Structure 1
């Protein structure tokens, strides 16, 4: 099959939870070629779902005790390395192309959020938007689910943090500015590379690097604390950009920067192998071997406290460079803490009588 432009994954891997596997045979491909027919549609489809809850507890010691909420499942951005791909299998789809082309959305997310925050036993905790998939992916422009959830958080004065690759976050600048005046919001912008060519290859449907840098600048100028995530760092693809990237984001107002080392868990290993041999045929083996060097000879290490940083000489070099870069470019810069004391679950637009 020819390279599918505008997509990260180039195939659909088998869903481990399904008994039967869908295989595209060569004779079918030949038939499609002779008849000038497309094998599959590359259009994105959207499916509304109705969950009973929207806040999920995260127990990972890598992150600390917190909660996440994801208004969407699947992500049209199509980042080839995305750890969230495997979660699409729980919905009966593939972690490959299905993850990018079949997007599930939760129209009732804001209602569920307010219901949970107003519940008797809820106390203010750290809540992360997009712990799994990007809350500002393209369909958000039309549906505005994330914006409706931000309105709930602002009304009840509940703090939250967000991570995104999309400049669409600037649409909600009015809400974010008001939350920032009360220390109720943290924003992380994911910038994996300063190279637009690398961005298009790794993250085909995300905002351009120019737009993301502009987003960091505008958010920072409006008093919204921004952390930049260089996540993931992939040896032989973007690890040489650590110093210039950290220097650049510090210069435009970011208050912090962090990184993770790529890990290709579950079906992502096969998806990435297939992609890298098509996208970087001249250095595919080098890339794969250096990733393996970071994870004891494997493409993935699921051990807590090791999986996001890796081990070995290459991982140590990455960590040392990032530490030095932060020391150079974020000297005496403090990242403000969120304020959990303002949360009032009884907050309404009317004066309380009791």
Structure 2
């Protein structure tokens, strides 16, 4: 009789105190925005540039026209090829912004905007500022972006549910989207999910400092063809680091293939925050790299999201930690009752 009571007590206790899960996080609401930056120093060295390859047929119309005009110039001999990527060399700051609006119980719209400054389209052809922007429809039931014709694009990468992270083998970019837009290559899938990345280090971004633990997600593909005529290809790596409290993306490491960037035509970019890279070099030289690190990819620059307060021990007060702690407490009656039952 006593043994049969043990499991129900634990289940009732855990169920009564566990936080209610939801497809969208608490901060996901009308008007929310997140802005990420890859900053350049005031006086960059010649090698301090970022490369943003673009797939012409996926570019927003206005951006396509500006790039094509700059690329071809007035010469009739140079033509932009829609069957291969065009590499944009960026010598200024780069910003990636996500804006949420038209939120309902089933879906929301997300405006993705990439701003590039001092952009070289080819030798001698420079644009002072280039903006690539598109509105994506996010289904809040399956957390998947869809095109207007219903083609799935992939899951959002600017936030994640830390209590239900993706598993190995899940698609980062949907095969249907890749096939439709002639992105020939291997499936781009999740290959690593970890809570131990930089587990003992403070992570500095332009917006604020973050404390461990972090959620690290990695996706890869063996090849992605970037020239349909020659068949030349590149391996893709996507590495993303999330805040475990809110599920918000803190920084990218590599971001070769993400649904948001691919939707505006950006494939296999290499955004590196040169300002933070210099700071990291000094940190390493000063022997502090064992306890702090600087985000070097697209890292959080601005947002109107309110982050939860941290505890007096400087450890994030996360929902997941709360759940595990409560679960442990709730298991104590089970342990005690089991011990008593075994004692007779």
TM-score normalized by the length of structure 1 = 0.25
Q: Which has the higher helix share?
A: 1
- Which of the two has higher C-alpha Rg? 2
